[in-house]
């Protein structure tokens, strides 16, 4: 059993969700916290901190969808997994840590797209599989409003140590906000970033990020960046992020960590991209427990 080493008043987890419409904000935020706590309990034996997690949720789905996802149309709710012991990890299944055939094929295509400056493969992925990413670049108003929500959460956390848990497109928003603040001199708290199912290796996104921010680097405000990816998650295809994003001036690199996203829908089918599965992985639990200062 682990216990909390100190009070958590100067530490804050900021979660930011990813693609597609979502349930109402408060429900989605509660499900994220439940998934994080379920992982801590199963993987680390860590009880819920007194007073709950120091957690802020950045919700942007309402900027793109007029109505939140209703219960009867939500095929992928959070439900506790009533198994025993830690959730699965590539530590016990080494094949899951290796790039898939799809991944290897995309890496070759990605390099060709970047060399040509044309991204037809990515255009198809973004428009038909990751539509909100397409909308993020097509709609400047949406893009600015989504960034502002994370900026506001970071401003409210001034003086705290912050862990940003960014799922899917949330990782793109986080990267943009952190690099923009670096460029314009906006003060930021000390930040740890954990990206979950990140699309930041897609060729088209790399080109757009370089156009806006210049060289692809770890943002200056980060004291650590861990990129968790399930190799079966289509959003994570491409080179590992450490091969793309150079360390910042303080020498902080990206650390790529393969995981097993064990989320299953109520009908039993899997979704290797789902946020709750990433939030319950042993690797995420280890990072959160370390950030919040749990000790044996």
Q: Please report whether residue 187 resides in a domain.
A: yes
Q: Please report whether residue 2 resides in a domain.
A: no
Given a cut of 50, whether residue 129 has pLDDT beyond it is yes
The range of the structural domain enclosing residue 57 comes to: 11-69+83-295
Q: Please report whether residue 124 resides in a domain.
A: yes
Structure tokens at 115: 């060399």
Spatial distance between the Cα atoms of 196 and 282, rounded to a whole number of angstroms: 13
In this structure, what are the phi and psi dihedrals at residue 192, rounded to the nearest 5 degrees?
Answer: -105, 135
Q: Please report whether residue 214 resides in a domain.
A: yes
Cβ-contact 225, 253 below 8 angstroms = yes
The model's pLDDT over 142-172, given as tens digits with 9 standing for 90+, comes to: 999 999 999 999 999 999 999 999 999 999 9
Q: What is the mean pLDDT of residues 190-209?
A: 92
Cβ-contact 271, 240 below 8 angstroms = no
pLDDT level of residue 94 (50, 70, 90 thresholds): low
Spatial distance between the Cα atoms of 38 and 81, rounded to a whole number of angstroms: 8
Spatial distance between the Cα atoms of 53 and 33, rounded to a whole number of angstroms: 7
Q: Please report whether residue 75 resides in a domain.
A: no
Q: Please report whether residue 239 resides in a domain.
A: yes
Spatial distance between the Cα atoms of 5 and 119, rounded to a whole number of angstroms: 49
Cβ-contact 188, 45 below 8 angstroms = no
Q: What is the mean pLDDT of residues 209-229?
A: 97
Structure tokens at 132: 């909100």
Pairing between β-strand 254-258 and β-strand 222-229 as defined by DSSP bridges: parallel
Number of residues in the chain: 296
Spatial distance between the Cα atoms of 85 and 100, rounded to a whole number of angstroms: 28
- The CATH code of the domain that includes 30 is 3.40.50.1820
The model's pLDDT over 254-291, given as tens digits with 9 standing for 90+, comes to: 999 999 999 999 999 999 999 999 999 999 999 999 99
Domain count of the chain?
1
Query: What pLDDT sits at residue 78?
Result: 97
Structure tokens at 158: 């001034």
Q: Please report whether residue 1 resides in a domain.
A: no
- Is this structure's pTM higher than 0.85? yes
Q: Please report whether residue 76 resides in a domain.
A: no
What is the three-class DSSP state of 129?
A: coil
Nearest Cα to Cα of residue 191 among 224, 167, 218: 224
Which DSSP category does 96 fall into? G
Query: What pLDDT sits at residue 71?
Result: 84
């Amino acid at each position: 059993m682990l216990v909390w080493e100190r009070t958590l008043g100067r530490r804050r987890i900021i979660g930011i969700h990813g693609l597609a419409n979502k349930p109402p904000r408060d429900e989605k935020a509660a499900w994220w916290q439940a998934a994080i706590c379920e992982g801590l309990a199963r993987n680390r034996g860590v009880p819920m901190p007194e007073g709950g997690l120091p957690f802020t949720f950045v919700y942007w789905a309402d900027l793109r969808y007029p109505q939140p996802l209703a219960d009867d149309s939500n095929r992928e709710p959070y439900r506790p997994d009533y198994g025993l012991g830690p959730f699965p990890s590539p530590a016990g299944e080494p094949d899951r840590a290796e790039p898939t055939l799809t991944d290897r094929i995309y890496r070759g295509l990605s390099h060709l797209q970047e060399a040509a400056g044309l991204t037809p493969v990515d255009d198809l992925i973004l428009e038909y599989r990751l539509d909100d990413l397409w909308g993020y670049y097509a709609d400047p108003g949406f893009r600015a409003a989504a960034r502002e929500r994370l900026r506001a959460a970071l401003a409210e956390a001034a003086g705290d140590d912050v862990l940003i848990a960014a799922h899917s497109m949330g990782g793109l928003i986080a990267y943009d906000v952190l690099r923009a603040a670096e460029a314009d001199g906006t003060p930021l708290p000390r930040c740890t970033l954990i990206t979950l199912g990140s699309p930041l290796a897609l060729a088209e996104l790399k080109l757009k990020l370089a156009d806006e921010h210049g060289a692809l680097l770890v943002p200056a405000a980060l004291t650590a960046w861990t990129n968790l990816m399930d190799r079966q998650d289509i959003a994570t295809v491409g080179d590992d992020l450490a091969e793309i994003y150079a360390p910042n001036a303080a020498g902080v690199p990206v650390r790529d960590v393969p995981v097993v996203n064990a989320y299953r829908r109520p009908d039993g089918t899997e979704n290797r991209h789902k946020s709750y599965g990433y939030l319950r992985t042993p690797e995420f639990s280890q990072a959160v427990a370390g950030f919040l200062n749990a000790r044996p």
